[in-house]
Structure 1
Amino acid sequence: MTLSNIMVSLDASSSTSARVRLACSLARRFDAKLTGVAAQDPLPISIYGKGSYLDNHIIERAAAHAREELGKQQAVFQEMTGGYSKAQLRLYDREPLGCVISECARCDLLVARGLDDGNSGDIVQALSPAEIILRAGRPVLITPSQLDDLPLRCAVIAWKDTREARRAVTDAMPLLKSANRVLLLTVASTETATNAEAIEAYLKSHDIPCERAELPETTHVPETVTGFARDEAADLVVAGAYGHSKMRELVFGSLTYELLTSLRTSCLYSH
């Protein structure tokens, strides 16, 4: 897999500038096309309700506000991409999540916001990382607030032999090949160790040398993995996103949730 098309989602949060700059730096590194997607729903159903009566004054004000917000995001995109010739921005006056998910058909990788942004901007229009990861059908790179580069000095693969983790390793190949150091992290068990040997051989067959890191078995796997990533100063964590049929706010397995909420490192997820 190569990265020929990278997409980045924009919103009204304070992290958008850094996120676009990071996505553009990746696009330049891989000589990839960069597509920004900005969407603003003038009349979100979550506020006005379906079928509500709205007079023309409200509609006009809402449309003007949406145009203003999209204009701000367009200015940010143009500034942060710095004249990169392969960058383009797509603007929509519709519900943001649906627009981003639909546009994912165009990309190899989506760069999206995390949960740690203190200034979330318009909470109604904000994109949920959980929803994006589950619905994108593409690998999603979640970046922390204000992080504007991905140096790839050290990448950690949080390995467990699941469909999602296997998919994540394959999706992350271009980034792993660019990393100076790749650590294959497992939490000790006989089954996990055997499966780790298989994925290690797979990585080596693609000319990606990796170091094995095996931690003692524990009942606190999420905290152990995030602590390891911090100790190794990882620039990137690669993990499967394990979906469950629970309420949306509990939609992820504990490791994925821990990575989303507490780790201040870029994480590539596949579902």
Structure 2
Amino acid sequence: MPGISADDGRSEPVDYLTEVIMTLSNIVVSLDASAFTPGRVRLACNLARSFDATLTGVAAQDPLPISIYGKGSYLDSNIIEIAAASARDEISKQQAVFHEMTSGYNKAQLRVYDREPLGCVIEECARGDLLVARGLDDGDSGEIVEALSPAEIILRAGRPVLVTPSEADDLSLGCAIIAWKDTREARRAVADALPLLRRAERVLLLTIASAEANTNAEATEAYLKGHDVQCERVELPETANVAQAVAGLARDEAAGLVVAGAYGHSKMRELVFGSVTHELLTSLRTPCLYSH
């Protein structure tokens, strides 16, 4: 069988884990009613092309969202039909956007659902290696943000999530920044980001000085080197606003990607996020790969 030791003369050892984590074979992208969805799909398609990966778009629209039935009013057949027609119209628009942005790429596919969007996106994550999702800076209505909350997606996806700011329509890998902290989430994020980090021209391993804890950055530097990723160490002074420090470095270095662990949990159906993660989600203007 493949992977038997070379000592028996039959084959060379195969590191299947290394093979898996060095590529992306299926990228999932969520669509919504936002005016910035075309740019997000274009970014995801360009990324899929670069990895020769399948691109799976997810378009979902609940005919009776909670904003209608959750108000407790009586819903007659006319209201229901109007809502259903509106949902069909929105799905048609999303389909048109997806097909336009992926024109000519024969590994693009769109999956369409007539139910609650968040659950559909989470389900599709099981098929993919990476999810490309909206950020919180699109300026859209609360209804759209609530339907596809990036925070909820990151906590529930079980896959790395590339959150893109509204103006992003391509992923530049000239410089990538790893926002490092010696935690499970950050270690997971570094491993999940390897396919992208290997393609970056520069990788900065960012740590924030702390008198209370060892950053253990040298172990991560060795891990990256073992996967042919050379990095530069950058240490910034201790600060109460870590997210601002990360965003500032990303801006100064014209970084196209930030990699970060996402810290949080869901308690009594209420999202509880760490302050740094929340601030990154709300203020970072650079695509960021989060792992939880």
Q: TM-score, normalised by structure 1?
A: 0.94
Aligned to 2:14: none
**How far apart, in 2, do the equivalents of 1:72 and 1:245 lie?**
33
User: Superposition pairs for residues 71-220 of structure 1, below 5 Å?
Assistant: 71-120=92-141, 123=144, 126-189=147-210, 195-220=216-241
Gaps of at least 5 residues in structure 1 are none
Do the aligned residues in 1 keep the contact of 2:261 with 2:290 (CA within 8 Å)?
yes
1:201-240 Cα shifts (integer Å, max 9, x gaps): 0000000000000112222322222211211111000000
Aligned to 1:261: 282
The amino acid of 1:209's aligned partner reads: Q
Larger Rg: 2
How has the CA–CA distance of structure 1 residues 111 and 161 changed in structure 2, closer, same or farther, with 3 Å as cutoff?
same
- Higher relative CO (Cα under 8 Å, sequence separation at least 6) belongs to 1
> Offset at 1:55?
2.1
RMSD, aligned CA: 2.1
How has the CA–CA distance of structure 1 residues 125 and 194 changed in structure 2, closer, same or farther, with 3 Å as cutoff?
closer
The amino acid of 1:59's aligned partner reads: I
Do the aligned residues in 1 keep the contact of 2:28 with 2:130 (CA within 8 Å)?
yes
> Offset at 1:146?
2.5
4+ long deviations beyond 4 Å:
50-53, 190-194, 244-250
**How far apart, in 2, do the equivalents of 1:60 and 1:125 lie?**
23
Q: TM-score, normalised by structure 2?
A: 0.87
> Offset at 1:261?
1.1
> Offset at 1:82?
1.6
Query: Aligned with 2:43: secondary structure?
Result: helix
User: Do structure 1's residue 7 and structure 2's residue 28 form an aligned pair?
Assistant: yes
Deviates more, 1:258-267 or 1:217-226: 217-226
Gaps of at least 5 residues in structure 2 are 1-20
How has the CA–CA distance of structure 1 residues 51 and 217 changed in structure 2, closer, same or farther, with 3 Å as cutoff?
closer
Aligned-residue sequence identity (percent) comes to: 79
- Number of aligned residues: 271
1:48 to 52, 69, 72: 69
Query: Aligned with 1:178: secondary structure?
Result: coil
